[in-house]
A and B are shown apart, each in its own frame.
Chain A
Amino acid sequence: MSIERITSIRGSALPLRGDNIDTDRIIPARFLRSVSFEGLEDHLFEDDRQQAGAAHPLSRREYAAAAILFVESNFGCGSSREHAPQAIRRRGIRAVVGVSFSEIFFGNSVALGLPCASVSTDESRVLIAAAEQAPGSVFELDLEARQLSGAGLTVPVTVPPGARDSFLRGTWDATALLLDHYEEVEAVAARLPYIRA
């Protein structure tokens, strides 16, 4: 099945400070009480937003149209709930840039066509400050050139080669790939001692 190639994402940025932001904060568990992902975006960071009031970046009008989320380190740790990147993606965010990401969050994001790109700690600080000082500044995450530019800055980004390749080729939705040459899967299964038993 052919899916979209993702080579670059352009748009304004939403800065979100804090290390170790977990998926319970991104989307509290009570909003997982549903059999679909629809409407999750309305509850993105619900409790953080309630507690921070109008000051929370997600509550501020100047960030309403943001396409890129700037975060710090170990973003998306904790629960494997795909509801977290689903809520982010459905809010209109098309890329996340930060120091590091939890692996399950990262993988879930790839499956949704939501690239997570890494920058150094110093560059992350500079980017967040830039987006705070001049909301609306347009940034471009260029996956081909492995760089992020905007607000007068150009910084190198890292995306693990496998994920980057999947975006550039448009193979980030892996199911079809896994169904290719299915006889090889069956052969592996047939050799496993616990299946033979």
Chain B
Amino acid sequence: MPATLLQKVWDAHAVRQLPNGQTQLFVGLHLIHEVTSPQAFDMLRARGWRVRYPERTVATVDHIVPTRDQRRPFFDVMAEDMLSALERNCREAGIQLFDLSSGAQGIVHVIGPELGLTQPGMTIACGDSHTSTHGAFGAIALGIGTSQVRDVLASQCVALNQLKVRRIRVTGTLSRGVYAKDVILEIIRRLGVDGGVGYAYEYAGDVIDRMSMDERMTICNMSIEGGARAGYVNPDATTIDYLRGRRFVPAGEAFDTLAEWWLSLASDAGATYDDDVEISGSDIRPTVTWGINPGQSVYVDERLPGVSDVEGSARSAVEEALEFMGLKEGDSIAGTRIDVAFVGSCTNARLSDLREAARVVRGRHVAGHVKALVVPGSQAVRAAAEREGLDQVFSDAGFEWRGAGCSMCLAMNTDKLEGREICASSSNRNFKGRQGSPVGRTLLMSPAMVAAAAVAGEVVDVREVALVD
């Protein structure tokens, strides 16, 4: 019978049906970091359990690392404590840790794919909601909480309810200046921030098929912002080309055997979906969020919604968002003055993202009142960008060029907004207080749009600032 990728990968990892009806799934790759794992190791110790498959867990440090001065011990005492705890836990359990001295450190969702740890057909778990990123490879990738991190360490398994699958076909051709970020913001705007509850999203269609792995990762990354438990793209030639030669990917005959298996996992023609949605990619325009959740967005040449256009409880949500953001109904989003520009995060801090942002700022300069920073997704991205001279492009334009980490996406280090600052951000969440100031404000957009906003000092249409082709 024709099956979806989700079903095939699920079946390959299903251990048994638990008494409560959930499925026990084996976890092929477990990724950990310093924020959500220390308590899990403590729970494990308290119960006298050992890490069952230490070779299937890989660690890095990303959330709390300073991006400016990374010498140890960190000036930030708590960050130093959290990293020390991770180092100790990994040492004791025999878990490989890609730390700051490894040359391979970075945001966990950037380094997994980069190192070839992330592979099609795997089940992947990590104590971080943006684990959905890895679905770009045709893996079932799940964000989990700390108690489940404990479960995976102890048993290499998770207990999960069966998921429904919604196929989202993005058809047509994207216009110049329209990026993967705009596509996923469009999907979330259309289907809602809770539209995906109970579902895994399968992204398909011409637009997705033509995308690079970097772009597919941007799409899958924000599945969680649409409420979906996971998101994935079927493996194809692009996937296989990306993986060939990566550090943790077998070479030679073993690669060919694996690649054949990977391709066989793609959803079969004729597979049935619980829901099927088509979105015209050709109609998508550069998108900017104006509110306090990622579904509250408009095209850059659109106006903000009017309060009276919305009914019921949605109306108070619009009012609350406009008030928090200090924006007025019916205003255009273009022209909104920004204070900070942030290019970074697991959504948009890979090499191709930095290239697009650099292309916009080359030969230009950041507006006088804007603080702008680029935080590469990993040490490898940073090094590759430097080989191309992108660091120089950004520095010349007035951007700060930082070390790799999560940084101002969630402001667990010292990179944060102050007061009511507004940030044009390539990250994934515009929640109240997300970027470190309780009253700070976030406008989500593509890296190229962030770069354009940095130069103009306000939200502008990247298609007008730079000819992007």
Do the beta carbons of B227 and A24 come within 8 Å of each other?
Answer: no
Do the beta carbons of A100 and B42 come within 8 Å of each other?
Answer: no
Do the beta carbons of B438 and A51 come within 8 Å of each other?
Answer: yes
Partner of A74, one of B26, B147, B193: B193
**Which B residues are CB-close (under 8 A) to A73?**
194
**Which B residues are CB-close (under 8 A) to A74?**
193-194, 197, 227
With A33-B82, A74-B197, A178-B157 as known contacts, state yes or no: A194 contacts B20, CB within 8 Å: no
**Which B residues are CB-close (under 8 A) to A165?**
19-21
Do the beta carbons of B197 and A103 come within 8 Å of each other?
Answer: yes
- Check if A129 is an interface residue, CB within 8 A of chain B: no
Do the beta carbons of A37 and B39 come within 8 Å of each other?
Answer: yes
Determine the distance from Cα of A143 to Cα of B42 in the docked complex, in whole angstroms.
31
Do the beta carbons of B147 and A32 come within 8 Å of each other?
Answer: no
Q: How would residues 6 to 37 of chain B score, 1 for a CB under 8 Å from any chain A CB and 0 otherwise? A: 00000011111011111010101000000110
- Check if B144 is an interface residue, CB within 8 A of chain A: yes
- Check if A47 is an interface residue, CB within 8 A of chain B: yes
Which residues of B come within 8 Å of A, CB atoms?
12-16, 18-22, 24, 26, 28, 35-36, 38-39, 42, 47, 49, 53, 63-64, 78-79, 81-82, 85, 119, 121-122, 127-129, 131, 143-148, 150-151, 154-159, 161, 193-194, 197-198, 224-225, 227, 229, 250, 254, 257-258, 261, 293, 313, 317, 320, 410-412, 429, 431-434, 436, 438-439
Given A24-B410, A51-B438, 20 more pairs with CB closer than 8 A? A24-B432, A24-B433, A24-B434, A29-B434, A36-B38, A36-B42, A47-B432, A74-B197, A80-B144, A82-B145, A103-B198, A111-B145, A162-B22, A171-B20, A177-B19, A185-B24, A188-B14, A189-B26, A192-B12, A195-B28
Q: How would residues 147 to 169 of chain A score, 1 for a CB under 8 Å from any chain B CB and 0 otherwise? A: 00000000000001111011001
Determine the distance from Cα of A79 to Cα of B131 in the docked complex, in whole angstroms.
11
Determine the distance from Cα of A185 to Cα of B150 in the docked complex, in whole angstroms.
17
Q: Which of A6-14, A15-23, A130-138 contacts B (4 or more CB under 8 A)?
A: A15-23
**Which A residues are CB-close (under 8 A) to B257?**
193, 197
Determine the distance from Cα of A197 to Cα of B249 in the docked complex, in whole angstroms.
10
Please, which residue of chain A has its CB at the minimum distance from the CB of B159? A174
- Check if A2 is an interface residue, CB within 8 A of chain B: no
With A74-B194, A175-B151 as known contacts, state yes or no: A25 contacts B20, CB within 8 Å: no
**Which A residues are CB-close (under 8 A) to B198?**
103
Which of B13, B63, B147, B161 neighbours the largest number of chain A CB atoms within 10 Å of its CB?
A: B147
Do the beta carbons of B81 and A22 come within 8 Å of each other?
Answer: no
Q: How extensive is the interface on chain A, given as a class?
A: 35 or more
Do the beta carbons of B194 and A77 come within 8 Å of each other?
Answer: yes
Determine the distance from Cα of A73 to Cα of B159 in the docked complex, in whole angstroms.
24
Please, which residue of chain A has its CB at the minimum distance from the CB of B432? A25
Q: Can you name 15 A-B pairs with beta carbons within 8 Å?
A: A25-B432, A28-B433, A30-B412, A33-B412, A35-B42, A50-B438, A51-B438, A74-B193, A79-B410, A80-B143, A111-B145, A189-B53, A192-B12, A192-B13, A197-B250
